[in-house]
Amino acid sequence: MQISIAWRRIARVFLPFAAGYYLSYLFRTINALIASHLSSDTGVGAADLGLFTSVYFLVFAAAQIPVGILLDRFGPRRVQSVLLLLAAVGAGLFAASTGFLSLLIARALIGLGVAASLTAGLKSIILWFPRERVALLNGYMIMLGSLGAVTATAPVEYLLAWMGWRQLFEILAAATGATAILIYLVVPERSVAPSTAATTLSSVFSDRRFWRMAPLSATCVGSSWSLQGLWASPWLTDVEGLDRASVVRQLFIMSIMLSGGAWLFGMTVHHIKRRGIGAETILTIVAVLFIAAELALILRAPLPSILPWSVVAIAGTTTVVSFAVIADYFPPELAGRANGALNVLHFGWAFLAQSATGLILEQWPANDGHRSVQAYQVAFGLNVALQIATLVWFALPWRQSVAPWISSIPFFMPASDSDAVEAVGVYENSVILVPADDDAEW
Residue 400 to residue 27: CA distance in whole angstroms: 41
The whole-angstrom separation of Cα 175 and Cα 368 is 36
- Distances in Å between the Cα of 141 and the Cα atoms of 14, 60, 123, 192, 229 are 8, 19, 12, 21, 20
3-state secondary structure of 403: coil
pLDDT over 70, % of the chain: 81
Q: CB of 353 within 8 A of CB of 228?
A: no
Weakest mean pLDDT among 135-139, 201-205, 369-373, 411-415: 411-415
When the pLDDT of each residue in the chain is averaged and rounded to a whole number, the result is 81
pLDDT tens-digit map of 305-317? 999 999 999 998 8
Which amino acid appears at position 275 of this protein? Answer: R
Is residue 9 within 8 Å of residue 186, measured between CB atoms?
A: no
CA distance 173 to 289: 38
| 151-173 tens-digit pLDDT | 988 898 889 888 889 999 999 99
With a pLDDT cut of 90, the percent of the chain lying above it is: 39
431: which strand partners?
A: 426
Structural contact between residues 253 and 242, judged by C-beta atoms closer than 8 angstroms:
no
User: What's the DSSP call for residue 408?
Assistant: G
CA-to-CA separations, 42 to 38, 98, 99, 158, 221, in angstroms, rounded: 6, 6, 6, 22, 30
What predicted TM-score, i.e. pTM, was given to this entire model? 0.73
Q: Report d(CA 295, CA 275) in Å as an integer.
A: 32
- Taking each helix axis from N to C end, the angle separating 279-298 and 208-226, rounded to the nearest 10 degrees, works out to 40
Angle between helices 117-128 and 76-96 (to 10 degrees): 160
pLDDT tens, residue by residue, 32-76? 888 888 888 888 888 888 888 888 988 988 888 888 778 767 888
Straight-line distance from the first to the last Cα atom of the chain, in angstroms, rounded to the nearest whole number: 13
| Residue 3 reports pLDDT greater than 70 | no
- Exposed, middle or buried, 357 (CB in 10 Å: 0-12/13-18/19+)? buried
Lowest average pLDDT, out of 106-115, 162-171, 367-376, goes to 367-376
Residue 221 above 70 pLDDT? yes
Residue 194 CA to residue 208 CA, distance in Å, equals 29
CATH numbers and ranges of domains, the chain: 2-396+407-431 (1.20.1250.20)
pLDDT number for residue 427: 37
Query: How does pLDDT run across 245-298, given as a tens digit for each residue?
Result: 899 899 999 989 888 887 777 677 767 767 777 788 889 999 999 999 999 999
Query: Given pLDDT bands bounded at 50, 70 and 90, which one contains residue 219?
Result: very high
Average pLDDT, stretch 77-87? Answer: 95
Query: Among the residues of 275-331, which ranges form H helices?
Result: 279-298, 306-315, 319-329
Q: Positive or negative, the Cα torsion across 329, 206, 68, 225?
A: negative
* Range name among 146-160, 202-216, 389-403 with the lowest pLDDT average: 389-403
The answer to whether the Cα torsion of 63, 68, 72, 78 is positive or negative is positive
